């Protein structure tokens, strides 16, 4: 199935794909099985450095196995901060962030998929019961048009989502708009080391699987600078590539079969940790 270049068609394809993930309660990028009684999604999260104690407090189904890193760890969140998660899914990173910012902080998730948003809001009740925190909120919206006020957020996080946007420069401008002066960004996302083969880049299942929507590392660095953010640091992390390569998930295996003979996933994609900040 080919990918259209129409932005609304791309959003609808992504919305449908992730809505299906929410309804079927299965991960798109995770391993089939794990040891020691962990769910596959939690096993994947542990590979990215999430703490077992934090994971234990999450509502069932909040972790949908859609991570490609651990942006909350890179963000060095502090009590009392306002955190915004772009493409918050079932609430995974919103709930992790909520535990870190505590009673005086606020953790907001934005997602454009109604099925996923409904799931996150149900999860919020369980989160409050388990932690005693009433500090999370979920809003319906697109990350290109955030339903968030100017200069109102201390930290923007995102986990394997910006690559799916058909208008990434607009996403970075929105991040800059909502951040307070001195506010910071902590993003984990999939990037390209070189252009994808045409056969792979043209597959809508690869787009929903966090691959075909990715851009070159230097493109993201340019977009961040053009949005007015400063002190940008890009750090490669190969954990996602290792998971994707070893996964027997049919979506990944079919998409990756489009790679030229003699090449591997690691020749084309990497997970990137991105940090930056808004000038004071």
pLDDT in tens, 52-107: 888 888 888 788 766 788 999 899 999 999 999 999 999 999 999 999 999 999 99
Residue with tokens 């996403």: 171
Residue 246 reports pLDDT greater than 60: yes
Q: Return the structure tokens found at 270.
A: 């990497």
Residue scoring higher pLDDT (42 or 3): 42
Query: In the chain, what percentage of residues exceed pLDDT 90?
Result: 49
Query: In the chain, what percentage of residues exceed pLDDT 70?
Result: 75
195 sits in which H/E element: none
* Tally of domains within the chain: 1
Q: Return the structure tokens found at 235.
A: 């750090």
**In this predicted structure, what is the pLDDT of residue 126?**
94
Upper half-sphere CA count for residue 46 (Cβ side, 13 Å): 15
**In this predicted structure, what is the pLDDT of residue 23?**
54
Residue scoring higher pLDDT (228 or 206): 228
Asked if residue 220 is part of any domain, the answer here is yes
**In this predicted structure, what is the pLDDT of residue 251?**
57
278 sits in which H/E element: strand 269-278
* Distance from C-alpha of 206 to C-alpha of 78, rounded to nearest angstrom: 36
Q: 174 is in which domain, residue-wise? A: 7-278
Residue 10 reports pLDDT greater than 80: no
Q: What is the dihedral of CA 257, 253, 69, 95, to 10 degrees?
A: 150
What is the tens place of the pLDDT at every residue in 211-228? 667 889 999 999 999 999
CA-angle at 36, arms to 30 and 40, nearest 5°: 15
Asked if residue 122 is part of any domain, the answer here is yes
Tell me the C-alpha to C-alpha distance, in Å, between residue 12 and each of 180, 191, 208: 31, 22, 11
Q: Which of 264, 230, 270 has the alpha carbon at shortest distance from 246?
A: 264
Give backbone dihedrals phi and psi of 84, rounded to 5 degrees, phi first. Answer: -125, 125
Asked if residue 2 is part of any domain, the answer here is no
What is the tens place of the pLDDT at every residue in 156-179? 999 989 988 989 999 999 999 999
2 sits in which H/E element: none
CB atoms within 10 A of CB 175: 27
CATH number at residue 255: 3.40.50.150
Asked if residue 1 is part of any domain, the answer here is no
The alpha carbons of the chain give a radius of gyration, in whole angstroms, of 17
Give backbone dihedrals phi and psi of 46, rounded to 5 degrees, phi first. Answer: -65, -35
Q: Return the structure tokens found at 122.
A: 């149900």
- Pairing state of beta strands 136-140 and 179-192? unpaired
Per-chain mean pLDDT for the chain: 82
Stretch 1-30: mean pLDDT, rounded? Answer: 53
**In this predicted structure, what is the pLDDT of residue 261?**
83
CA-based max dimension of the chain: 54
Residue 34 reports pLDDT greater than 50: no
Asked if residue 126 is part of any domain, the answer here is yes
Asked if residue 31 is part of any domain, the answer here is yes
Asked if residue 15 is part of any domain, the answer here is yes
Is the dihedral angle over the CA atoms 276, 62, 41, 253 positive or is it negative? negative
Residue 207 reports pLDDT greater than 70: no
């Amino acid at each position: 199935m080919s990918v259209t270049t129409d932005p609304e068609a791309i959003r609808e394809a992504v919305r449908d794909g992730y809505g299906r993930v929410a309804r079927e309660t299965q991960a798109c990028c995770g391993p089939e099985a794990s040891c020691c009684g962990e769910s596959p999604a939690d096993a994947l999260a542990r590979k990215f450095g999430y703490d077992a104690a934090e994971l234990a407090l999450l509502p069932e189904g909040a972790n949908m196995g859609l991570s490609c890193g651990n942006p909350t760890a890179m963000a060095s969140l502090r009590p009392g901060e306002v955190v915004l998660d772009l493409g918050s899914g079932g609430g995974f990173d919103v709930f992790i962030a909520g535990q870190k910012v505590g009673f005086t902080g606020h953790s907001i998730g934005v997602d454009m998929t109604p099925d996923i948003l409904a799931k996150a809001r149900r999860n919020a009740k369980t989160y409050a019961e388990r932690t005693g925190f009433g500090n999370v909120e979920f809003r319906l919206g697109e990350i290109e048009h955030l339903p968030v006020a100017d200069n109102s957020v201390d930290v923007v996080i995102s986990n394997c989502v910006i690559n799916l946007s058909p208008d990434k420069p607009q996403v970075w401008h929105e991040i800059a708009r909502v951040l307070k002066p001195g506010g910071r960004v902590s993003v984990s996302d999939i990037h390209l080391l070189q252009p994808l083969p045409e056969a792979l880049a043209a597959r809508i299942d690869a787009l929903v699987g966090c691959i075909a929507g990715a851009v070159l590392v230097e493109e993201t660095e340019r977009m961040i600078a053009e949005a007015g953010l400063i002190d940008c640091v890009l750090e490669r992390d190969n954990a996602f590539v290792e998971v994707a390569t070893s996964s027997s998930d049919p979506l990944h295996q079919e998409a990756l079969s489009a790679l030229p003979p003699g090449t591997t996933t690691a020749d084309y994609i990497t997970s990137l940790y991105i940090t930056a900040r808004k000038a004071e």
